[in-house]
Amino acid sequence: MRAVDIIIAKRSGKDLLPDQIQFFISEYVRGTIPDYQAAALLMAIAINGMSPTELTHWTNAMLHSGRVLDLKHVGGLCVDKHSTGGVGDKISLCLAPAVAACGVPVPMVSGRGLGHTGGTLDKLEAIEGFDVHLPTERFIELVGSVGVCMIGQTEDIAPADRKLYALRDVTGTVESIPLIASSIMSKKLAEGIDALVLDVKVGKGAFMEDERQARRLAETLVEIGTRAGRRVTAYLTDMNQVLGREVGNASEVAEAIEVLQGSGPPDIRELTVLLGAEMCFLGGRAKDIEAGRRQMESVLENGEALSKFDQMVAAQGGDARVAEEPDRLPSARMHKDVPAKGSGYVVAMNPRQIGIAAMLVGAGRQKASDQIDPAVGITMLKRIGDPVRVGEPVAVLHHNGSPAADESVLMAANAFEYSAKPPRPSVLVLDRIQSEG
């Protein structure tokens, strides 16, 4: 079998056979197929797509390119959550411990931020000492003993994805739905989970701005999971404004702690409860979504979710005192108001610009090698629908003497649109897409 023949077949619009896919993935991971041939195949897939059967085999080959974890001994059905990324999306930080407090084991392998979207790992590392690089055996142990563990992708989990992901970024093949879906699901299935809840963001601050494309991605993800024998539910959620108030790393941890303390911004709490309710249902701890909601609301109110967060942080080497003392998190030395450029009501916002503005002062990365400053970011003072006067602060930029501070303020100011008439109320959750059975 030759790699070039497989490339030609896909270029010609043919479905790849299971043995062709297995050969290509395994040999690429082994290093006998070079990057330039893998890049050619990725482009052929991006142009011609993949059939459901073909995509199933492709994902399966990526999944089995490394270790597939066995979590059966931890007790109970293991359920994870994945978000396609947004601005201010700190949901995992409060969701995972809250669901674990409801009795559902949560093994969560997360990623880092790049560009305008933040990364869960970067936020966790704002907590002094928190270790996201645990060995696989320790990860499995903590899922069993604590009920939740949050780490980065290890060397032995889906190595094919790690290589292909880096290649897609430099070959113009990032936006391909089959490649996005197989990347997400190969990593998640390799965790050994029984079920998965997906938060597929839609809007100006999302990876996919078009709802039809986002729906296609959600349906593809659900189908892959279903074919793999897992229960999967996807939610389409709005990303046309920043989630919550904070955009940054330490500040987003503090905001997640607010939710774990029983308060926090309404949209963050709503998504936490909704996605957690679904996880409790899929994990067999709730008879339906409503029962799951009651469980989630209970653990957020009675302190059990906060206690589980405390346990997770301590188990992973972090300063668990932040659960009761969020002021222990890093904070910026300097602050600049972002003034409103109009009066009336905020009728629209561009979260992508807000995310980039935060990135410019060190809250995110323009390239993977950039260093994060956990203390910096942006606090949103106004949301869509709020009244505002010209010159009034709509946000505050927090920085540590960044030369890009003025540019960031201008970019953030330009992210808001105003009108004399208030906008229609926005909807946070657009749809729910679930697997059959």
Residue numbers annotated as active site? 82, 161, 168, 183, 187
Phi-psi region of 354 (alpha: psi -120 to 50; beta: other; left: phi over 0): alpha
Structure tokens at 385: 């629908």
Structure tokens at 103: 């009795």
423/240 Cα distance (integer angstroms)? 13
283/355 Cα distance (integer angstroms)? 34
Q: Which single residue is written with the structure tokens 């963001």?
A: 201
Q: Which single residue is written with the structure tokens 């990303």?
A: 239
132/129 Cα distance (integer angstroms)? 10
Please, which residues have CB within 8 angstroms of residue 338's CB and are 6 or more apart in sequence? 378, 393, 394, 395, 396, 397, 409, 412, 413
Rg (CA), the chain: 22
160/177 Cα distance (integer angstroms)? 17
Dihedral over alpha carbons 43, 46, 51, 53 (to 10 degrees): 60
Cα-based distances in Å from 241 to 42, 89, 206, 342, 415: 33, 11, 10, 18, 10
Among the listed residues 259, 252, 267, 202, the one whose alpha carbon sits nearest the alpha carbon of residue 378: 252
Alpha carbon 89 to chain centroid, angstroms:
7
Q: Which single residue is written with the structure tokens 């082994």?
A: 30
Structure tokens at 150: 């949050």
